[in-house]
Chains A and B, each alone.
Chain A
Amino acid sequence: MAEIIVETRDLEKVYTIGERRQQILKDINLQIFAGEFVVVSGSSGSGKTTLLSILSGIDRPTSGSILLSGRDITGMSEDELAPVRNVETGFVFQAFHLVPSLTALENVMFPAELRRDPQARVKAEELLRRVGLWERRSSYPQQLSGGEKQRTAICRALINHPKIVFADEPTGNLDSENSRGIVELLAELHREEKTTLVLATHSPEIAARADRVIVLRDGCIVEKGEGADA
């Protein structure tokens, strides 16, 4: 049986805005296994982004617990979570979130440099070559197209060889051609690197390529089905 990378128990997330309490996630119990390609699907506002940010250690649940590689990360402080985000997980955002003052190469190198990896530059250059951005390595984010930004962000998420990569609507800000390219790239990296991939999308085409699809509605898991082979 494959190793469990992520496991949640009775996960709940509530936001309080002024007097108003809004439950975003409730009773989330799931397991994600090593090497899986899982799509989290659901309509806008169903809680996909919140779920991914909690699973990746960027956000914390209101109640319940998350185990990452068997370790409970629920009560960890920001600084305790730092190495988890740096090494164990990678995140690809819909809005790219590249550091604007760093070049494409520096953005990719950054997580590796944080862990003082002497091979940071070599690894970053190799990744950029692989995604066809070698020529654009010295460009700043504002000089890159949407597709280029997302490819850079994917390289950044992969540089420390995380056990699991989360991608939140990675094609949401891209045109259809670039979207196809990004999905191909993620799928290819998943195949070749054997990285666990959790991808939030409401695109049926992308969901169709996943090993498993988790459907969220109003913060609850309504379906945990298998996807079709790509």
Chain B
Amino acid sequence: MLDWRFLLREIWQGRKQAMIFIFCVALSLATMVALNGFRRDIDRGITGDARALHGGDIILHSHYELSPGLRQAVERVQRQGRVAQAADTWSFYSLIRSVNDQDTLFANLKVATVGYPLYGRVELQSGRRLDQALQPGDVVVAADVLHRMRLQIGDRLHIGEATLRIADVVTYESARPVDLFSFGPRVFVAAADLEAIDLIRKGSRVSYETVLKVSREGEVEELAAVLKDAAVAGQERVETYRTAGSRIKRFFDNLLFFLSLISLFTLLLAGIGMQSSLTALLREKEMTLAIVKSLGATRGFLYRHYLVLALVLGMVGSAAGSTAGLLLEGYLPRLFAGLLPPGSRIEISLLDLLEGMGLGLAVVLFFTFLPLSRLNRVKPAVIFKREVSDGSRRAAYYLTRAAGLVFLTVLVVLQLRDLEIGLWFVGGSLALILVMSLLARAVLQFARRWTPHPLALRLAVRSLVRPGNATRAIVVTLSSALAILLAIFLLERNLRQTFIDSYPAEAPNLFSLDIQKDQRDGFRQLVGEDVQMFPVIRARLVSINGKAVQREKEDVPRGDSLTREFNLTYRDDLLPDEELLAGRALFRTGENGRIGLQVSVLDTVAEMGDMEIGDVLRFSIQGVPLEAEVTSIRTRTRSKLYPFFYFVFPPAFLEKAPQTYFAALHRPRDEIPALESRIVTAYPNVSIINMAASAAELGGLMQKLSGIIRFFAGFSLLAGALILVSSILATRLARVREAVYYKVLGARSSFVLAVFVHENLLLGLASAIFAVVLAQVLNWAVCRFVLEIAVRPDWLATLTAATVTVALVVLLGVLSSALLLRQKPADFLREQSGE
């Protein structure tokens, strides 16, 4: 049975700590609930309808025209009536020009046959269907094309060798709900004009896709299997809408996954806050507990009541957190503005709320187990102000901790839906907290022995080690949260510095792709002799030492894959930003000076395929096999200014292979548009990438993503702030006592304030220093080993972040302590003697 009056009285008397506890529960849930709801919104509105995203039930994909075998298989199933409808598309980038050749634009062209898309929709400004608007001789363009080229509907455009009329404007495309990865706006061209534009040559970078709508839903997998058998392995991909990957889906999956990691981290820190505030609340209640025990209350009575107390507070916190999460979810479309299609809807459901409440209670149970174990250790003798504490920790304590850890791991894995990363996350977070905890302990041990001369500083140091002070918890949470925030910030700055800001003035800034062999000399003459040209041969890796590269094994959700198509090249020398990691030269010279079938591989791909010198790699170049032995492993220095090729061959073997050229050159920015126009006029099939413009777009995207990540990571700092306030409340009595003693002994208020400022300054400094050290180590490790870019510590930003943290901690600490300064010594002493 519960004594509700006792329970309510306990909550009311400990209301300040109870509020902190509720805030911590709410904080732990808010971002999690918001993200879970938002993920459902994304699924529902953008990535959920896989048919609309891919435009068909079965998707045949290749970088070449469909092979005759696959084409015949498609025709066969069409004749059998098993396919209701089919549509072909050709996607590629090209420069488009205004009729007067004054404006050019790098555009994402999609040539489509009638009927495309078979699922989903392409909405046009006129309200017509795409195939109604896309007549031969016409194009349908994104609004950006009109805006950037100063054109309007009805105007004409040069695309390749043809001149086409703008018939309509695309307002929404379900296969491309957001425009994140294309470096140019969409232009739809009718398949009937494919020949006229004449942009597809041998080796051109074209994505060929045939989408099929099956007649009977149940036959999707069976038909896909039939077509897969007919496809050229490694060259043609046959997928269903269920299995096909989508860059958009992958992007949101990855981003939301990463944000989930951050929100779990916030949950962990807020959990420490829950523990800290509940411990403080129980410490305040120690005397009450002792009296209640001395009057005959059993352990069960106390456990029952305090567990219910924690659950009641937890429920209030869960409700508050879920509500805050739903409000936050409503704000997310604004935060993600530019990454979501305009008019994206957020649907707030009861399920989100219930899920939040359930999660909240689970979290409360986990984080309150340990503080509640204190109940066991309170002895009635405390009434007589004797230190009585059962210092020995029983097996049950460790058992509880172990069970809690298992529970936390399950919770994390369920949230992330990824066992391996879940385990890494739990391990990594615990390691981070452990390291911070050990550092904080070392500092506190030093503080116990440190006797600085200035009196206010000495008293502040003594205050930090006062019994009951949550100094360690504050330092651990604040520094962990700040370290993660700062590391994310530093990584963004490093990426930006490497790829955008510090792009050297003389580095290539204009790249041309798909230059045909017979266009090579003319191209060189057109742009100048200083152009660097790299031959490109498209091929797939079939096997390593006779062991086939397996698609299923390689197709990991996050990361590169050995099964994709690679660009091979040939040359004799290392590029200026390359060096050898293994092997004495790029290629081995034979006995009579001849070079055998050899290949040099880049370290990143060598790592992916566990390749070593002497391994034999088998490639398929458009069906033609090629075997070569690995003779060297290259790595790239961190300048990253040259195009990189995973596989480099000696010229002798690939010179005759079907190839195109990749050209890199540098020109002043203001000369680029005119040059682009000249190139595309002379060679319409050549694709051009203006790096300066692309870098700016990439920079914008990076900044946006970094802002979103920082927004979420900011919540973890709140957890640190809550623990700080909780600690100040928990030690209020000790602080008041000290302030009164100082005053009674002749200290002015300014001196007492100085002690509080020093105390919080030390707290902030310790947190900031630990955070800076950890963030710099993380930044260095990720830049050096993961991104493989030059590491810049960015001390100015680091110093700013550290200073802001220290200032905030001091401000918050002093504000929380300000009331104590007004305490009259006589009142306090009278209260004390009245006890």
Interface residues of B in 444-469 (CB under 8 A from A): 455, 458-459, 462-463, 465-466
**Contact stretch, chosen from A32-40, A67-75, A108-116:** A108-116
Encoded as 1 (CB less than 8 Å from any A CB) or 0, chain B from 635 to 663 comes to 00000000000000000000000000000
Report A-chain residues with C-beta under 8 Å of the C-beta of B459. Answer: 99, 101-102
Whole-angstrom CA separation of A160 from B458 in the bound complex: 20
Q: Is the CB of B829 within 8 A of A79?
A: no
Q: Is the CB of A101 within 8 A of B462?
A: yes
Report B-chain residues with C-beta under 8 Å of the C-beta of A86. Answer: 745-747
Tell me whether A99 and B738 are in contact in the complex, defined as CB-CB below 8 angstroms, given that A49-B833, A114-B747 are known contacts.
yes
Which residue of A49, A60, A114 is within 8 Å of B746 (Cβ)? A114
Q: Which 4 residue pairs of A and B lie closest in terms of their CB atoms, listed nearest first?
A: A86-B746, A59-B826, A101-B462, A85-B746
What's the minimum C-beta distance from A62 to chain B, rounded to whole angstroms?
12
Q: Is A83 an interface residue (CB 8 A)?
A: yes
Q: Which residues of A contact B (CB under 8 A)?
A: 49, 53, 58-60, 78-79, 82-87, 91, 93-95, 97-102, 106, 110-111, 113-115, 156, 160
What's the minimum C-beta distance from B752 to chain A, rounded to whole angstroms?
10
Tell me whether A53 and B829 are in contact in the complex, defined as CB-CB below 8 angstroms, given that A85-B743, A97-B744 are known contacts.
yes
Whole-angstrom CA separation of A110 from B456 in the bound complex: 11
Q: Is B751 an interface residue (CB 8 A)?
A: yes
Whole-angstrom CA separation of A91 from B744 in the bound complex: 8
Nearest A residue to B453 via CB reads A113
Tell me whether A101 and B833 are in contact in the complex, defined as CB-CB below 8 angstroms, given that A82-B747, A114-B745 are known contacts.
no
Q: Is the CB of A111 within 8 A of B746?
A: yes
Which residue of B742, B750, B829 is within 8 Å of A93 (Cβ)? B829
Report A-chain residues with C-beta under 8 Å of the C-beta of B824. Answer: 59, 78
Supply 18 A–B pairs (Cβ within 8 Å), ascending by A: A49-B833, A78-B743, A79-B750, A82-B743, A83-B746, A84-B746, A85-B743, A86-B745, A86-B747, A97-B744, A101-B462, A101-B465, A101-B466, A101-B738, A106-B458, A110-B455, A113-B455, A115-B746
Nearest A residue to B738 via CB reads A99
Encoded as 1 (CB less than 8 Å from any A CB) or 0, chain B from 723 to 744 comes to 0000000000010011001111
Report B-chain residues with C-beta under 8 Å of the C-beta of A100. Answer: 466, 734, 737-738
Report A-chain residues with C-beta under 8 Å of the C-beta of B707. Answer: none
Q: Is the CB of A85 within 8 A of B826?
A: no
Q: Interface on chain B toward A: helix, strand, loop, or mixed SS?
A: helix
Q: Is B748 an interface residue (CB 8 A)?
A: yes
Tell me whether A99 and B741 are in contact in the complex, defined as CB-CB below 8 angstroms, given that A114-B751, A115-B746 are known contacts.
yes
Report A-chain residues with C-beta under 8 Å of the C-beta of B747. Answer: 82, 86, 114
Tell me whether A156 and B745 are in contact in the complex, defined as CB-CB below 8 angstroms, given that A100-B466, A113-B455, A114-B455 are known contacts.
yes
Tell me whether A87 and B744 are in contact in the complex, defined as CB-CB below 8 angstroms, given that A53-B826, A58-B826, A94-B833 are known contacts.
no
Which residue of A79, A85, A101 is within 8 Å of B749 (Cβ)? A79
Q: Which residues of B contact A (CB under 8 A)?
A: 455, 458-459, 462-463, 465-466, 734, 737-738, 741-751, 824-826, 829-830, 832-833
Q: Is the CB of B832 within 8 A of A95?
A: yes
Whole-angstrom CA separation of A98 from B462 in the bound complex: 14
Q: Knowing that A91-B744, A97-B829 are A-B contacts, what are 5 other residue pairs whose CB atoms are under 8 Å apart, sorted by A's residue number?
A: A58-B825, A58-B826, A86-B747, A100-B738, A101-B463
Nearest B residue to A159 via CB reads B745
Q: Is the CB of B466 within 8 A of A97?
A: no
Report A-chain residues with C-beta under 8 Å of the C-beta of B833. Answer: 49, 94-95
Report A-chain residues with C-beta under 8 Å of the C-beta of B462. Answer: 101-102
Whole-angstrom CA separation of A87 from B458 in the bound complex: 22
What's the minimum C-beta distance from B239 to chain A, rounded to whole angstroms?
69
Report A-chain residues with C-beta under 8 Å of the C-beta of B832. Answer: 95
Q: Is the CB of B463 within 8 A of A87?
A: no
Q: Is the CB of A78 within 8 A of B749?
A: yes
Report A-chain residues with C-beta under 8 Å of the C-beta of B750. Answer: 79
Which residue of B737, B744, B751 is within 8 Å of A85 (Cβ)? B744
Whole-angstrom CA separation of A102 from B738 in the bound complex: 10
Report A-chain residues with C-beta under 8 Å of the C-beta of B466. Answer: 100-101
Nearest B residue to A102 via CB reads B462
What's the minimum C-beta distance from A49 to chain B, rounded to whole angstroms?
7
What's the minimum C-beta distance from B170 to chain A, rounded to whole angstroms?
71
Nearest B residue to A82 via CB reads B748
Whole-angstrom CA separation of A156 from B830 in the bound complex: 21
What's the minimum C-beta distance from A137 to chain B, rounded to whole angstroms?
13
Whole-angstrom CA separation of A98 from B742 in the bound complex: 10
Whole-angstrom CA separation of A106 from B459 in the bound complex: 10
What's the minimum C-beta distance from B727 to chain A, rounded to whole angstroms?
15
Whole-angstrom CA separation of A58 from B742 in the bound complex: 12
Report A-chain residues with C-beta under 8 Å of the C-beta of B825. Answer: 58-59
Interface centre among B463, B734, B829 (most CB of A within 10 A): B829
Report B-chain residues with C-beta under 8 Å of the C-beta of A101. Answer: 459, 462-463, 465-466, 738
Report B-chain residues with C-beta under 8 Å of the C-beta of A85. Answer: 743-746
What's the minimum C-beta distance from B466 to chain A, rounded to whole angstroms?
5
Report B-chain residues with C-beta under 8 Å of the C-beta of A82. Answer: 743, 746-748
Whole-angstrom CA separation of A97 from B831 in the bound complex: 13
Whole-angstrom CA separation of A58 from B744 in the bound complex: 7
What's the minimum C-beta distance from B382 to chain A, rounded to whole angstroms?
15
Nearest A residue to B451 via CB reads A106
Report A-chain residues with C-beta under 8 Å of the C-beta of B746. Answer: 82-87, 111, 114-115, 160
Nearest B residue to A93 via CB reads B829
Whole-angstrom CA separation of A84 from B833 in the bound complex: 23
Nearest B residue to A15 via CB reads B830
Report B-chain residues with C-beta under 8 Å of the C-beta of A87. Answer: 746
Whole-angstrom CA separation of A212 from B385 in the bound complex: 37
Report B-chain residues with C-beta under 8 Å of the C-beta of A49. Answer: 830, 833
Which residue of A53, A94, A95, A110 is within 8 Å of B745 (Cβ)? A110
Whole-angstrom CA separation of A21 from B574 in the bound complex: 95
Whole-angstrom CA separation of A93 from B824 in the bound complex: 17
Whole-angstrom CA separation of A102 from B462 in the bound complex: 7
Whole-angstrom CA separation of A94 from B748 in the bound complex: 24
Report B-chain residues with C-beta under 8 Å of the C-beta of A79. Answer: 748-750
Tell me whether A97 and B743 are in contact in the complex, defined as CB-CB below 8 angstroms, given that A59-B826, A114-B751 are known contacts.
no
